[in-house]
Structure 1
Amino acid sequence: MFRTTTVIELGSKAFAIQSQCDHGIQLTESPHLDLRACFVLGNSTNLADTLQKAHISWLQNDDVFCDAFLKNVLLVTNETSFSASVLQLLASWGCRTLFHVASTEKVLPGPYFFSSLGLYCAWRLFPDDKGAFILSTIPSQEDPYTVWGVISLCGLPSRLKACKSERAPLAGMRVAVKDLFHLKGVHTGCGNRAYRSLSAISVTSSDAVRSVIDLGGVIVGKTKTVEFGGSQEVTGDWSDYFYPLNARGDGYIAATGSSIGSASSLTAYPWLDISLGTDAGGSIRDPAVAHGIYGFRPSHDGKLTPNVVIPCGAEQSDNPLRPSRIIFPEEYWSDHGGVQSLAEDWVASLADWLGADKIDMSIEDQWNATKPEGISRGFFDTFNKTFIDLIYSGFWTYLADFREEYREKFASDSYVCKVTQYLWDKGRSLSETRRQEALAEVSLHNSWFLEHMLNDEETIMIVPRYKLDFRDEYLCAPELRGFDGFDSNLHASLSGVPNLIVPVGQCEYQSDITGTPQQFPVSLSIIGPKGLDVGLLGLVHDYLTAKGLPASVLTGRTAFHPSMKLNKELLA
């Protein structure tokens, strides 16, 4: 099928239209494109006032519309004549031509381009100057589940055409998708050029992506990921693609984790609303911490999600969550005094609001008092290699078909970065005996953790989190780094309980780049009972609302306004 996309420059702004018109109504005989703003008016006793309010609302709420579209105005109304006040208002806007059609014409409000063929929706093009996207997309006009990959500028629909409803609560939301998900109409690249060259264009979308589309979301692009969701950390680890930038602070704070593009894009671009990532050991949560945004890993049952190699979601409950115990484990306390102080104040305030007990607990002490008989090692020593050994094994076995098919097709080995090669080498040499031991350790962790730590619906765990590394740092070779260890992410990764990253403030650091003080984000990791995902989200939302605290973050250099200080007085 022959398709075209036309790019139109309007002053300093750029727009795209697709090859087919979106509404066949003919308002001119000219084949040349021109601008038009469409207002859909209901019954009103004062059309001029209604138009004025709509115009103000558009300027405030839509980043696609601009006053240049008012050159020609289309009114969708059953009115057949217009008062002098309406005509004067349109003239003050610079309107040269007024058209009107009956309300039976199902035209959505907002900015358009038009010709003799009909109306074309305006898609605003924004640059990806942080390098967060692998490609941008525009939905197909024939099939809402199919997209076309377009130029590197991200094309966005007007928010004015969104009609939210109970069935489409995400209507108008712009959504970015990590390049581990399949998206019908474009390649899945998994952050690796060799994999992308081998794979065909996807003929179906992953279930999570289809769900977003069914709920009204618009997929605007696929974001970068580290290779196969692995462990690339700094610029030197990235060979196939450019390492995305983190907009926070001086712009050179490290952007970490495999859902790196999803976090980078949300932090940088106010025109983006949601991004989809994946998370095995922290691939959503770590980027959320580094970028100072919300990140959520839902409950899971350990099975694989169809079309994406991540665990399936577990059955959800709508029950509210109001815990009576908040565990604040000593082993995860922050080494940064400002971070720890902020976390202490926030957790104490939440406990006071709930009327709950804040329990400063040592995981090692709890383990030593309750661990099964026959185990002599401490908690962190017992599970030091559990997760990473399973990652080694999974990386090697899951990508076996890719390695084989690439060699068969191209008569050469596929290129992967040095970190991925190291993971493969470790996985190839890992014995089946050790893999079975690691699986047994997962079961041991889960039975103990769910019995002696998060043992009922009355308990949550909170851990302070921050990351202040820099993108221009150099690391030693992968084989010298040491990927062993157990961090707070892994409780949820192994046991399947929900884990929410909540940005709660920011601390100051002296930038070597700018030579001036800058702010880095501070977050809390909140772990809740399995299946109470909605309750966990509701708990945080209700607390923030009750305290008058921000429930959203800013884009750009700071997550919160620099003047905002989360201290005991504000949290009281």
Structure 2
Amino acid sequence: MGSRSLLIVDGVSYLVHPQSLLKITESTGLEPIPVVLLPIDNSPSSVNDALQLINRFADVDDVYSPSFARTAVIRSSSERGLNEVLKKFEASGHFYAVYHVSPGSSQGYLPPGPYFLCDGGIHQAYRLYDDTLDSFIFGVIPDDVLNPGRYTAVTLLSSNGLWKSIPVPSRLYTVRTSTTPLAGARMGTKDIFRLEGTQTTMMSRPWIELYDADEQSADYTKKLIKLGAVIVGKSKMTSFASPEEPTDQWVDLHCPVNPRGDDTRAHRAAQQELQLLWRLRMAGLLYRGRLCWQCVKRTPFSFVEEWEKNPPQEAGGLPLLEYTEKSAFWSLCYDYYHGFDSFRDEYSAKFGKNPFVSSVVRFRWDVGKDVTPQEYEKYMKKLEVFRKWFTENIMGPDSKTLSNTILIMPYGQPHPEYRDEANTPAGTFPTIAEKFISPILHAPQLVLPFAQIPYLSKISGRSEMRPIASTMIGAKGSDLMLIKLAAEAFEKAGWPTSVQTGRYMYPVADNARHVGSVPRESLATYETNQRAVQELQRTFEKKSEDFPCNTM
């Protein structure tokens, strides 16, 4: 890749991607110029079509700013009438300068939107956001924006030198299709997933010392990219994906800041044993895509009591909690320990010492290394017995509804946890808990924030809001149904289906859930504008259908 350029446009910092996508006919200098690229036909309405499109840019794209519209680069699929169109653009008074791409260019179609013109070449524009929450290890950009596969880590800092800068491309560069439903969706991948060209850190200094950049992306990452996702960086996680808590258990690298409330609390799911939940029996629950709530029966339910009524023969009369006491956590630790055998061996061979790990990771490794293969098989067999009993007696697949039952459980602690308070030492987990049930059952699970409760923060000295969540679990294979069910349930109740960034998860209101309604006008306006721009883009694509197509 060539060198990258940085500049400020309308008070916003930008990165110029080094890949030149198109060449214009006129000569320009080396200094990047913000421009709008406008693929057009040569009809009399071309100028009006272009202005209509530009007016929509600011509504849907945070990369675009007015200065981009001062210079236009137009591209036509035909020489015929091009000079007249150029004159109309220049005479419109809307542009300081107008350039054009040679109709004979062999390079493919590019969507209209904000770009940079540098040394006669068109380059994608990336807006730089300051990572003030310290959420990312680094930002990334693809080496080839038309066919992203390999990525380069971006080592840029904010203007004050305190924060990493994360580059994001224009939302206008991609249009969703049936094969790319995630087109334009910006995503940060957790650092446990490999991304070709960048280094996986596992949030561990010894891991960083031992391994170089990855030469292949994880299958999960490849799938996201194939579906159109825009990978903007690698986000932080706990070391080796362990259940570390802020901040004393984060040793090698510091944890991100929680923007909720007073900025000092930790997100921490409950670890206590759960025996009580709600069970919803689904009989013809989904009808023509809408919910038939009259068909739903709510049943308070206890794992322990249900097991006592109808225990599996394999349990030998043991109570549920005794039978499953070690099965989940000890088998997990066995896999967790041996999953890093090669890392420990390679590190010791190269550096002559054991790699440092946090107390939480060390505790799990110590448990796992003492589990024998025979014990592991016994634990796995117990989990299989529990899963079979649960599927046959509590919740199983259904040919029509996909899941004959939906489980709803509380999730999380009811009180705030401050990151300046010491955490309890690492310990074991019970099998029957909201964290383990889903993977044990091989079932989908949703964590759904639905309310917020006030508390007096010892840090800010004022009333803050703490999110309250529940969790829903369906039978294996009911993933999409579960999402649709949750979305329609929230909509039917008049609850928000998206959360805000910043201090509050939802708008604050004086009601039982302390949640206000979200104005649908703002969401509707955005969606309306997004559709309008995409329609205009498709119109321009049709008018430019003679261009060779590139996959964006």
CA change 1:465–1:52 in 2 (3 A) is farther
Q: CA deviation at 1:484?
A: 4.5
Q: Hey, what's the Cα distance between the residues in 1 that align with 2:462 and 2:474? A: 39
Q: Is the 8 A contact 1:76 1:107 kept in 2?
A: no
Which is worse superposed, 429-438 or 114-123?
429-438
Which is worse superposed, 71-80 or 377-386?
71-80
In structure 1, the gaps of 5 or more residues are 257-285, 290-328, 334-349
* 1:287-330 alpha-carbon deviations (Å, 9 max, x no partner): 9x9xxxxxxxxxxxxxxxxxxxxxxxxxxxxxxxxxxxxxxx86
CA change 1:472–1:485 in 2 (3 A) is farther
Q: Is the 8 A contact 2:4 2:17 kept in 1?
A: yes
Q: CA deviation at 1:82?
A: 5.9
Residue 490 of structure 1 is matched in structure 2 by 436
* 1:43-77 alpha-carbon deviations (Å, 9 max, x no partner): 87755654444233211211111112223122345
* Residue 540 of structure 2 corresponds to residue 528 of structure 1: no
* Residue 350 of structure 2 corresponds to residue 405 of structure 1: no
1:392 match: secondary structure: helix
Q: Is the 8 A contact 1:146 1:184 kept in 2?
A: yes
Q: Hey, what's the Cα distance between the residues in 2 that align with 1:147 and 1:426? A: 38
Residue 117 of structure 2 is matched in structure 1 by 114
* 1:455-514 alpha-carbon deviations (Å, 9 max, x no partner): 343211111223432222212333xx4444531232211110111122222222221121
Q: Is the 8 A contact 1:189 1:195 kept in 2?
A: yes
Q: Hey, what's the Cα distance between the residues in 2 that align with 1:570 and 1:119? A: 46
CA change 1:18–1:34 in 2 (3 A) is same
Residue 536 of structure 2 is matched in structure 1 by none
Q: CA deviation at 1:239?
A: 0.8
Q: Hey, what's the Cα distance between the residues in 1 that align with 2:11 and 2:249? A: 36
Residue 355 of structure 1 is matched in structure 2 by 295
CA change 1:44–1:217 in 2 (3 A) is farther
- Written as runs of structure 1 = structure 2, the 5 A alignment for 1:28-427 is 28-41=27-40, 46=45, 49-76=48-75, 80-81=83-84, 90-91=93-94, 95-101=95-101, 106-141=109-144, 144-151=148-155, 152-256=164-268, 286=269, 331-332=276-277, 353-373=293-313, 375-427=316-368
2:475 match: secondary structure: coil
Q: Is the 8 A contact 2:452 2:514 kept in 1?
A: no
Q: Is the 8 A contact 2:452 2:513 kept in 1?
A: no
* 1:91-130 alpha-carbon deviations (Å, 9 max, x no partner): 4xxx321234577862321112212331111111111111
Q: CA deviation at 1:204?
A: 1.0
* Structure 2 letter corresponding to 1:358: R
Q: Is the 8 A contact 1:509 1:519 kept in 2?
A: yes
Residue 436 of structure 1 is matched in structure 2 by 377
Q: Hey, what's the Cα distance between the residues in 2 that align with 1:246 and 1:568? A: 20
Q: CA deviation at 1:223?
A: 1.1
Q: Is the 8 A contact 2:21 2:122 kept in 1?
A: yes
CA change 1:523–1:89 in 2 (3 A) is farther
Q: Is the 8 A contact 2:451 2:513 kept in 1?
A: no
Residue 318 of structure 1 is matched in structure 2 by none
Larger Rg computed on CA atoms: 2
Q: Is the 8 A contact 1:136 1:153 kept in 2?
A: yes
CA change 1:358–1:82 in 2 (3 A) is same
Q: Hey, what's the Cα distance between the residues in 1 that align with 2:233 and 2:506? A: 26
Q: Is the 8 A contact 1:37 1:72 kept in 2?
A: yes
Q: Hey, what's the Cα distance between the residues in 1 that align with 2:83 and 2:201? A: 54
Q: CA deviation at 1:41?
A: 4.3
Q: Hey, what's the Cα distance between the residues in 2 that align with 1:5 and 1:369? A: 68
Q: Is the 8 A contact 1:505 1:565 kept in 2?
A: no
Which is worse superposed, 432-441 or 179-188?
432-441
Q: Hey, what's the Cα distance between the residues in 2 that align with 1:555 and 1:569? A: 15
1:359 match: secondary structure: strand
Q: Hey, what's the Cα distance between the residues in 1 that align with 2:374 and 2:405? A: 36
Which is worse superposed, 363-372 or 548-557?
548-557
Q: Hey, what's the Cα distance between the residues in 1 that align with 2:74 and 2:507? A: 40
Q: Hey, what's the Cα distance between the residues in 1 that align with 2:365 and 2:385? A: 26
* Structure 1 letter corresponding to 2:98: L
Q: Is the 8 A contact 1:492 1:498 kept in 2?
A: yes
Alignment equivalent of 2:445, drawn from 470, 489, 499: 499
TM-score normalised according to structure 1 size? 0.77
CA change 1:89–1:487 in 2 (3 A) is farther
CA change 1:464–1:90 in 2 (3 A) is farther
CA change 1:521–1:119 in 2 (3 A) is same
Q: CA deviation at 1:536?
A: 1.5
Alignment equivalent of 2:484, drawn from 538, 551, 563: 538
1:186 match: secondary structure: coil
1:360 match: secondary structure: strand
CA change 1:522–1:81 in 2 (3 A) is farther
1:21 match: secondary structure: coil
Q: Hey, what's the Cα distance between the residues in 2 that align with 1:357 and 1:104? A: 67
* Residue 412 of structure 2 corresponds to residue 466 of structure 1: yes
* Structure 1 letter corresponding to 2:435: N
* Structure 1 letter corresponding to 2:140: T
Residue 507 of structure 2 is matched in structure 1 by 561
CA change 1:569–1:418 in 2 (3 A) is closer
* Structure 2 letter corresponding to 1:392: C
* Residue 415 of structure 2 corresponds to residue 475 of structure 1: no
CA change 1:406–1:251 in 2 (3 A) is same
Q: Is the 8 A contact 2:54 2:69 kept in 1?
A: no
1:236 match: secondary structure: coil
CA change 1:99–1:548 in 2 (3 A) is farther
* Structure 1 letter corresponding to 2:127: R
Identity of matched residues, %: 24
* 1:245-288 alpha-carbon deviations (Å, 9 max, x no partner): 221222222034xxxxxxxxxxxxxxxxxxxxxxxxxxxxx59x
Which is worse superposed, 516-525 or 468-477?
468-477
Q: Is the 8 A contact 2:443 2:474 kept in 1?
A: yes
1:16 match: secondary structure: strand
Q: Is the 8 A contact 1:353 1:543 kept in 2?
A: no
Q: Hey, what's the Cα distance between the residues in 2 that align with 1:502 and 1:364? A: 25
Q: Hey, what's the Cα distance between the residues in 1 that align with 2:510 and 2:73? A: 44
* 1:316-368 alpha-carbon deviations (Å, 9 max, x no partner): xxxxxxxxxxxxx86258xxxxxxxxxxxxxxxx9973531001112211111
TM-score normalised according to structure 2 size? 0.79
Q: Is the 8 A contact 1:26 1:118 kept in 2?
A: no
